[in-house]
Structure 1
Amino acid sequence: MNTTNFSRRDWLKKSTLTLGALTLIPSEIWTNNVLKAQSENSPFLYNSSNYFNEFTPPIVEENESLVILRANENPYGPPPKAAKAFQDEVFTGNRYSWKTLDDLMETIAKNEGVKTDQILMAPGSSDILEKVAMVLFQNGGNVISADPSYMSLMIVAKAVGGQWKSYKLLDDSQHDLDAMEAGIDADTKLVYICNPNNPTGSITDAKKLRDFCSRVSEKVPVFVDEAYIELSKNGLKDSMNTLVAEGKNVIVARTFSKIHGMAGLRIGYAIGKKETLDSINEITRGGMGITGPSIAAASASLANTDFLDDCRAKITAAREYTISFLETKKFSYLPSETNFVIFEIPMEGKEFLQKIYAKNVAVRSFKFWDKNWCRVSIGTMDEMKLFTKAMGEIFA
């Protein structure tokens, strides 16, 4: 990975001037975009013609009865043992947590089949996406990804001077790997793949993706975002971590925000080549942003696989219930191996959000491929029944 000779101070000065709100955590970015769009009465959050848009949610007073199905959170986490570990670690909050962080990194390294110096810790995987973009695109260049996909890395890359080359998903919602590879040029600095993909929930064949990453990483780094992989049918069997162990220039990002139910505790990590991660760590020092209690909770969660398996089973059952409803009501949906489902709606997105928020259910709505879509996160079975009830009333 090529970087400039910026000092940390120079880079921080540049990033502060050019990024503004993009230096916030992802939830704050989304919230700030919502507030700005609402104040300007804009139908979309981003107002961009070169990638899919998200409809602005209505202004409502959120309350405890609001069913929040918009952030792909695990409704059952964090595991009780992780919560207990978090509470206990609070009492050592006067000390830095380097030792416990090192212990967690050793556990992760063993699980992933890599060395500890091939791990980069951060407060959530989105933090890693954004820092990679900040470091890699400060002198321009382009990033290649699917369209639609998770936009965090691309938004920051564009904010610091990079460009985005997007390639529409195939008809079966998998990445168009052939087109993406053909699109690599002299200015390409990174290929980004979100698998399973967000916001579509679809997964790309693991063998095809592994062959692609192995081959393409000889030309440019390949970043594989596996935030939802533990929720997929094959789980970690489909991870690209084996390529990192083989020495390929592949970065794999994971998060404790999804299956581990720790979205609010902010912890994630990446595995990759030591020199690649060192170039990021020289500027960002991702481990400094993680609290000791979060480290303790993550360590406890990794050891509590029974709870994670139970969450996966419940989420799968609620997802199948939701899909059955969509099929019964003739909604066209994309195949999902995540804790969310996206489907077409026969109504303009802004109007739809007003109607469903009025029924105390919060979801997301997008515009892409000249169609309106609803993306609903999978909550508890009771929450999904409230969602289907609201949908049945809106589209009676």
Structure 2
Amino acid sequence: MKILIIAGNLDQSAPGIVFQRIVNGLSKLHEVHVIASHLDSSISLFSNDLRIIQKQKTNSKFDKLSMILFKRNLVDNLWGKKVAKSIHPKENYDLIFGLISFGHYEGLFGGLELRKKLLSPLAIYSVDAIPAPEGWMPKDYFYYSLKSMIRKNLSKTNAMFSSNDKMLNYQMSLMINKKKIFSSTVYTPSIGTFKILPPSKESENIFLYTGGIYGPRKLDYLFQAFENLIQKYPFARLWFVGTKISKQFLERYSEELQNKVSVYPFSDDLESYYQKATALIDIDADLPDDIFISSKIVNYLMVDRLIISETGEDSPSRLLFSGIESISQCNHSAKELYLAMENAITCADINYESRKVIIDKFHVNSVCKKLSEDLKNFLSFNKKNYEN
């Protein structure tokens, strides 16, 4: 297949890294051309052709205001028209593949403009649910304007891909003509192989959380569990890397606990922290029917450390990682987290064999192989719809 990929910033942000891996993975299987608004110098792309078409710089306040007033992101919309003008109408592609995330809709607007010009079918992949469901963002004028924009414009596409089944179902529920839209999942792709790290030389039992904590992802249950844990295991420690924790939050807990909590700045070298850890902590949103899966757990999978996952009853994490011996799944419960942390301290051997299947499922080669098959099926699906 000859695929034209449209994206915004290809950078070191979480969406940017995902997009880079998808571009490079598909480029091994097909002829891939890319149009983006920006390419970070640290990003390596292996596409057959790359064009950077710069986008007018703006700020979030302007974007939010234009969304409320016009129910569209004006800058991304104008960029899409600019992209369409740069393409010769006789350029031939089997399909256009737009990559989008919350706040970055270049792939959608550029894709729609190019579909009109080239008459090629358009597929969209979003790493985020747009707009985020209740509990993640307030239902204000911006929310309803964004929802209107997404409903109107995604419904004009021919295929929709999301990061997991629950997110896909949510996104498809916003569509007007969803029966005519092909849909499937694209898991967040990982790279590398499973690593056996050297045993920790720390005399303490370190529980490690990496990345931000925000919205309905909360530290309350973890801290309550840890406060109980240190009464029995005083050598336990709680480490955070790249996490902002307010002074007011910490002061809710005992001085003893505060002295056992360490917060380190953002680091690209997480492996050195993983090596020192007894267990790695992942926290999902404390919401019913959450649809997000954190990107950090995909990284955690790749090292031989126990994972403690605080998640909901019917979350994507619960569904995907259930039954894996080296992943302790807990409800949003201090008691369950305490027991999982105690188990991490006391267990002698951990079997990581059951991770192999899920690691393979998330590996970039597997993700892009499945995506390639899905895109072929999409073209057949689209052809049948067109003929009917």
Same fold (TM > 0.5): no
Per residue, is there more helix in 1 or in 2? 1
Normalised by the length of structure 2, the TM-score is 0.27
Structure number with the bigger relative contact order (C-alpha 8 A, sep ≥ 6) is 1
Report which of the two structures shows the higher radius of gyration computed on alpha carbons. Answer: 2
Normalised by the length of structure 1, the TM-score is 0.26
